[in-house]
Amino acid sequence: MEKDPAYFEELIAKYFCGEATPAEISELSAWANQDSANQTIFRDSQHAWMAIEGARVVEAANVDQEWETFEKRAGIVKDHDEGEDRFMRYGRNRNVIPIYRQLLRVAAVIVLLIIPSLFLFRYLSQPAMKELSAGTTRMETLLPDGSKVTLNSGAMIKYSEQFKGGKRAVTLDGEAYFDVAHNASKPFIIATDGIRVEVKGTSFYINTRSKSGDFELVLTTGKVELYFENQSGQARVLNPGEKAVIHGNQINISSNKDANYMAWKTRKIAFSNDPMNLVVATLSKVYQADIRLTDPVLARCRLTATFDNQSLESVLNVLKATLDVDIRNSGSLVEISGKGCR
């Protein structure tokens, strides 16, 4: 439920009085970043508070004491013979001291008022973070720089609503396909579990938690630098058509032999004399289904077929007719049984 505007007015007052908690400061920052109207309300409140508090601080300041402290720190020594500061010999103008006392009053106001304002400015100047999760279905989104991302089910991405600074940084958990907008002066960096993927503009598939538990990346176009956190000097470079697998602390690069690595996104599947265990693994991933072979002997069967955006039921019917197998589909589990292939 949306909170009443009076709530944030009270929160602003608590902040400037130094009574707001870190959680409340974060909430106030998020509210101020929502739109320009909220920022105007905050700045108007800030100006009013500074005017009131500034007058109070100037009135309460012990100027004589502050001036003595200033004299000691500045090394101004009294000349007892002349009854004046040696500092004054340069000007012989006794109006200098009242001027400096007034400056001290202003300085007191600045110190007491500007610090909390700068503290919140740090929050307000930080772009809000956005987090997207694909849930049980695929999700496509456009990042602030124009890069396109497709998340497979269960994947999550986190990024700034504005890519400020010298890089475009995102974090990823799960399976996704990136089509990164080119920007040679502002690299695009994906962070995940101590691994970094850095590009200027390219397209690639990435899976931070494959079925085997390894990190996988397949490059479609452009170039990619892959390295462990804080080890950019040891980056490995991938070229189009290559696949990188990270197992433990090893980065292994080879030619990609999986023609269906993008089938979860395109729904286009091509099998060319592929064994049934690979067929089942691919179909399970594409259709987010639990498909199993009831007998290991069925893994020797091979399939050559092409599917283009067809339903799982249609694909299973092709398997049944082509390989002479029986299929039991209970909704949550698909079991393939039969005599097997020689």
Domains and CATH numbers, the chain: 5-125 (no CATH), 129-255 (2.60.120.1440), 263-337 (3.55.50.30)
pLDDT value for 40 = 78
pLDDT band per the 50, 70, 90 thresholds, residue 264: very high
Q: How many residues does the chain have?
A: 342
pLDDT value for 88 = 47
CB atoms within 10 A of CB 222: 17
| pTM (predicted TM-score) | 0.64
pLDDT value for 244 = 96
For residue 202, pLDDT over 80 is answered with yes
* Most confident range, picked from 7-21, 90-104, 138-152: 138-152
pLDDT value for 101 = 54
Query: Per residue in 113-134, pLDDT tens?
Result: 555 555 555 555 556 788 899 9
pLDDT value for 78 = 56
Task: Choose among 132, 167, 135, 126: nearest CA to 148.
Answer: 132
For residue 160, pLDDT over 80 is answered with yes
Query: Per residue in 246-262, pLDDT tens?
Result: 988 899 999 999 999 99
pLDDT value for 125 = 54
For residue 196, pLDDT over 90 is answered with yes
For residue 10, pLDDT over 90 is answered with no
For residue 17, pLDDT over 90 is answered with no
pLDDT value for 251 = 94
